[in-house]
Structure 1
Amino acid sequence: MSTGKAVDIISAGKFIRTHWLFVALLVSGIVIRVITSLGYCPALWFWADSFSYLSSALDLRPLESRPSGYSLFLAPFRSVVALVTVQHLLGLGIAACLYAVLRRRTFLPAWAAALATAPVLLDAYQIQLEHLVMADLLFTFLVVGGVTLLLLNPRSWTMVITAFLLLAFSAMTRTLGLPLIGVAAVWLLIARAGWRRVLAGAGAAGVAVAGYAFWYNAAYGSYGLGSSSVWLWSRTMTFADCGRMDPPENLKVLCPDIGPRLAAPAYIWDPQSPIMKTGKQRDEMASEFSMLALRSQPLDFLTTGLGDAMWAFRWDRVVYPSPGTQSAYQFPESVKPLTDKLASAGRSAPELMIQYQGSRADTQVVEPFASWTRAYQRHVYLRGPLLGAIFVCTFLVMIIRFRAATLLPLGFALTLLLLPPLVAAFDHRYVVPVVPFACLAAACAVGWRSPASNVQRDQDRKERVPARRAAHA
């Protein structure tokens, strides 16, 4: 055996001994994902959002009601199996990013840093989100990538600009990425990275978002990322009191009925919903009604949305607004073949699949792998109180030992947790992306190194390198 190969084996062995827990968790995560892929082949579909993205990927045209960044991600694959495989790899990449930051910028031992990645690697609902043809996983990966770069070196021009571009791409995937750009900019100022870097990063993100807005304008005649006021209107329907709002005559048709309120999404899809009576002026009227409700009842708006957000901390997952909606986030016992019902752009789901990859891609439930996956999902996921404990611990440690670095992942976690219930509705699918940032914030609060300790560590590393070279020689 050559000296070079012997050194490589020794280095690999040392790496495994140092990072054994993360390696074990990573291998376990890979095994679970392989079993999931075998049990539910090739993917899970979310009606009808998955097919809207697929349609946009085929036409290379922005969607009117939501950003189409995920469609651009879908476009080159032309294989659902390849797509889902890459999504699972991105899920593993999220954990790798967290581990890299914690090992590089904190004094936490390897086993503690590895534990912070466990919810990402092992949580059944994280794995299920990776297996869905939906934008959430890509969005999470882009945001985690941006946070990773900023925490590794907030004073590097390249890191900052690249991080803000990733956040801009996340905004093109879900509009929730837009406020995260603001959070990152404020954090850079707090971290004293310099206003020039803030302007450079924000400027790069602005150019990227503007480019998408121009593309959207070419398709629909107005600048935007794709949005609908109907979601915010449905949120206001859970608390709106037309007696207090005194809406104009043309908006009274949107007033909720007297009596118990429905869940917010029900006002969008229920055939008896007031929004069904608005015709072509639907979005405009929904916007006017929403703004009036927010001006008239700001406290009701806050208490209703924040109250729903607290459901994320319950022990059992909240079935909201109906069992049918939540069942989309469970690995099913069986899946019916997709019918010829129109899914998007005048095409059925089977037609879209065939145009995308040349064959149908209906979900096939394969035993015993599917049963193993369902049994795993019943028991292995981050319970709400544990997520709450992570937040509480972070706040308590920050009171004792404040570190500005903690504010970045914590700010992202709180934004992702609170904003969706405020402007749309509570949904457990929106809670899953909160977890990596909450775990990262807690770990940073406990173990973040001061700048002085970072300098000393780097100096120690430089002194050790010649000694290692001399030993190998």
Structure 2
Amino acid sequence: MSAARLQRLKTLVREHKLFSAALAVGAFLRLLTVLGYPGALWFAGDSYVYLGAALRPQPNLSKATGYSLFLRALLPFHSLTLVVVLQHLMGLAVAVMIYVLLRRNNVSKLWSTVATLPVLLDGYMIEDEHLIMAEALFTFLLMLATLMLLWRRDIKWWTALIAGLLVGYAVDVRTEGAVVLVLFPLFLLIRGWMTHGWKHLSGWLAAVVMAIGCVIPVGAYAGWFHSRTGHYGVSEATGFYLWGRVSSFADCAVIKPTGREALVCPTQPLTKRTPPGNFIWHAPEVHTDLNSTGGPVDPTNNQLLTDFAIHAIEAQPLGYVKTVVKNTMLSFGFPRIAYPGGGTVYYYSFHLTYKSPHRNLLPPNNHVWIKGGTAYQDWLSYGHQAPGRVINVFAAPIAVYQRLVFTYGPLLALIFLVGLGGLFSLRLSRRPREIRLRWAPRGTSMLPWVTAVALLITPIAIADFDYRYLLPVIPFACLAAGLGFAPAKRRTGPQDGAGDQSPVLAQEIDSGATSGVPTSS
């Protein structure tokens, strides 16, 4: 590193001391994780599908394998440690993007730093970054697209296109986030209307170009899926998971299913059904009874399960709404519970051993989901190192830390409420003999807050609640909450025209020069 760059880095650290300290702590915690758990951690069958599809590229009927393309790109290094280090760096980069966006919107250094703390310090988020799972990449891609959309108010067409490509690939990585394919272009359309009116072409052009960018990766994956299966799509598991969702309230006497749908209507008493995220893996209606016709992720059976689930929702709409609301409230509960089951949440914590009489977190040597190798063989083939090694001197501190420091449910609820308040700016108008309060919509925080809500509710609405599904939600909720501390009347900045400097970059670009925007802390 040249002396000039080193000096620039020192200047950045000095000018942003609070955030630099928080970033250093977050980096240290991730370093402990990498040292304590060489290689990577494993999550049941999901990790095996991703690794198997990385070694033998192919779409999978049960889940999109866009994340496997990321793993495939790193395959020449044969290092799972490299994979998780990059995922940890993505987590840190998400915090940096939040901080930069907040400072650009004139949020103080204190509140900008506070908004990044759940991302930097949440023990469960750090553990998830160390798993062979898709959340870290998905969150990074979406946050990068958000940064591009919010950086300037008048967005260039090529910026909209690149952001769209990022969003589209993010959906290939994690299909539960498909709702963003609509949200992001719609945001550009609404912001264009709020800025220029409906008749101005710039808002329409940006939204259309971004929509095209979103469709390209998803369409390419759907074409690849069709070439292997004969069906356009990203998976054949939609009906399987939606069937699980309705299993929490479905009453055959009310639904009155006919034909083959009667065969998949759950007959167990409601009080004896486990949560959907656990029930679907054991229910005979979707395993034993459908095995003779291709299983639950067969195209025909996928349509059957989807049709039944839709009929169940139509017959019991109140039951559906109640179960979605009830599960959503679990996001804000305290303490954390073993939902949807103890076996699932066990994977979300650091442990000092990965093979015990009660739990075996090592990839099995007899489990084949992607033809061509077992889970254990694929692990060795990709990483060239045996799984399950733990260095206790480093692992013990991070394992204890995770159980104490994370985003508690009530705290997440508070973050959402602050973000909701940040959607509007309260302006106090003082005139002779009157005081008026006027609410003015704040468009900047609209995208991250609505994205957080959508990422929270959508998986619950189509599958079930899972604590892992909260991890992509937290950064966007924090960004929205931080924007609530932006001044009600923004100073003129780069989003509104050229020739101005953002507060976070003003001194870095021209130290000592005045740009018309003070760098307040």
Same fold (TM over 0.5): yes
The residue type equivalent to 1:124 in the other structure is G
Is 1:436 the equivalent of 2:461? Answer: no
Residue in structure 2 matching 1:354, options 358, 373, 380: 380
* Residue deviations 1:121-177 (CA, integer Å, cap 9, x gap): 111011011000011111111111111111112422222111111100011011123
Is 1:303 the equivalent of 2:318? Answer: no
Residue in structure 2 matching 1:290, options 292, 306, 309: 309
Is 1:179 the equivalent of 2:218? Answer: no
* Residue deviations 1:357-387 (CA, integer Å, cap 9, x gap): 4x34312121121111111011111111011
Match of 1:268 in 2: 280
| Residue pair 2:419, 2:478 contacting (<8 A) in 1 also | no
| Residue pair 1:267, 1:275 contacting (<8 A) in 2 also | no
The residue type equivalent to 2:320 in the other structure is F
Is 1:127 the equivalent of 2:126? Answer: yes
Match of 1:89 in 2: 89
The residue type equivalent to 2:246 in the other structure is T
SS at match of 1:44: coil
Q: What CA distance in whole angstroms lies between the structure 1 residues aligned with 2:318 and 2:176?
A: 22
Where do residues 208-287 of structure 1 align in structure 2 (5 Å cutoff)? 208-228=217-237, 229-256=239-266, 257-260=268-271, 261-270=273-282, 272-273=284-285, 275-279=287-291, 280=293, 282-287=301-306
Match of 1:363 in 2: 388
| Residue pair 1:108, 1:447 contacting (<8 A) in 2 also | yes
Cα 1:372–1:9 change in 2 (3 A) is closer
Where do residues 401-412 of structure 1 align in structure 2 (5 Å cutoff)? 401=426, 402-412=441-451
Offset of 1:440 from its aligned partner? 0.3
Residue in structure 2 matching 1:35, options 28, 32, 37: 32
Match of 1:389 in 2: 414
Offset of 1:119 from its aligned partner? 0.9
Offset of 1:435 from its aligned partner? 0.6
Cα 1:303–1:457 change in 2 (3 A) is same
| Residue pair 1:146, 1:167 contacting (<8 A) in 2 also | yes
Residue in structure 2 matching 1:377, options 368, 377, 402: 402
Offset of 1:406 from its aligned partner? 1.0
Offset of 1:399 from its aligned partner? 4.5
The answer to which structure has the higher helix fraction is 1
Where do residues 123-202 of structure 1 align in structure 2 (5 Å cutoff)? 123-154=122-153, 155-192=155-192, 194-202=203-211
Cα 1:115–1:177 change in 2 (3 A) is same
SS at match of 1:244: helix
| Residue pair 1:306, 1:422 contacting (<8 A) in 2 also | no
Is 1:77 the equivalent of 2:102? Answer: no
Q: What CA distance in whole angstroms lies between the structure 1 residues aligned with 2:423 and 2:156?
A: 26
* Further displaced range: 190-199 or 41-50: 190-199
Q: What CA distance in whole angstroms lies between the structure 2 residues aligned with 1:135 and 1:73?
A: 10
SS at match of 1:342: coil
The residue type equivalent to 2:452 in the other structure is A
Residue in structure 2 matching 1:207, options 209, 216, 225: 216
TM-score (norm 1): 0.92
Q: What CA distance in whole angstroms lies between the structure 2 residues aligned with 1:211 and 1:176?
A: 18
Cα 1:457–1:263 change in 2 (3 A) is same
The residue type equivalent to 1:33 in the other structure is R
Is 1:22 the equivalent of 2:19? Answer: yes
* Further displaced range: 371-380 or 316-325: 316-325
The residue type equivalent to 1:302 in the other structure is V
Offset of 1:272 from its aligned partner? 4.0
The residue type equivalent to 1:221 in the other structure is G
Structure 1, unpaired ranges of 5+: none
* Further displaced range: 219-228 or 345-354: 345-354
Q: What CA distance in whole angstroms lies between the structure 2 residues aligned with 1:409 and 1:467?
A: 32
Q: What CA distance in whole angstroms lies between the structure 1 residues aligned with 2:7 and 2:276?
A: 58
The residue type equivalent to 1:120 in the other structure is V
* Identity value in percent: 32
Is 1:325 the equivalent of 2:334? Answer: no
TM-score (norm 2): 0.84
Structure 2, unpaired ranges of 5+: 193-201, 294-299, 356-361, 427-440, 515-521
Q: What CA distance in whole angstroms lies between the structure 2 residues aligned with 1:61 and 1:371?
A: 38
Residue in structure 2 matching 1:60, options 57, 82, 85: 57
Is 1:116 the equivalent of 2:115? Answer: yes
Cα 1:467–1:365 change in 2 (3 A) is closer
Cα 1:189–1:353 change in 2 (3 A) is same
SS at match of 1:276: coil
The residue type equivalent to 2:20 in the other structure is V
Cα 1:8–1:449 change in 2 (3 A) is farther
Match of 2:333 in 1: 314
Q: What CA distance in whole angstroms lies between the structure 2 residues aligned with 1:22 and 1:300?
A: 46
Q: What CA distance in whole angstroms lies between the structure 1 residues aligned with 2:73 and 2:423?
A: 44
SS at match of 1:48: helix
Q: What CA distance in whole angstroms lies between the structure 2 residues aligned with 1:466 and 1:118?
A: 29
| Residue pair 1:255, 1:274 contacting (<8 A) in 2 also | no
RMSD, aligned α-carbons: 2.4
Q: What CA distance in whole angstroms lies between the structure 1 residues aligned with 2:224 and 2:445?
A: 36
Offset of 1:284 from its aligned partner? 3.1
Match of 1:415 in 2: 454
Q: What CA distance in whole angstroms lies between the structure 2 residues aligned with 1:467 and 1:53?
A: 48
| Residue pair 2:420, 2:449 contacting (<8 A) in 1 also | no
Offset of 1:395 from its aligned partner? 2.1
Q: What CA distance in whole angstroms lies between the structure 2 residues aligned with 1:276 and 1:62?
A: 25
Offset of 1:84 from its aligned partner? 0.9
SS at match of 1:277: coil
Q: What CA distance in whole angstroms lies between the structure 2 residues aligned with 1:370 and 1:457?
A: 50
Cα 1:320–1:10 change in 2 (3 A) is closer
Cα 1:467–1:37 change in 2 (3 A) is closer
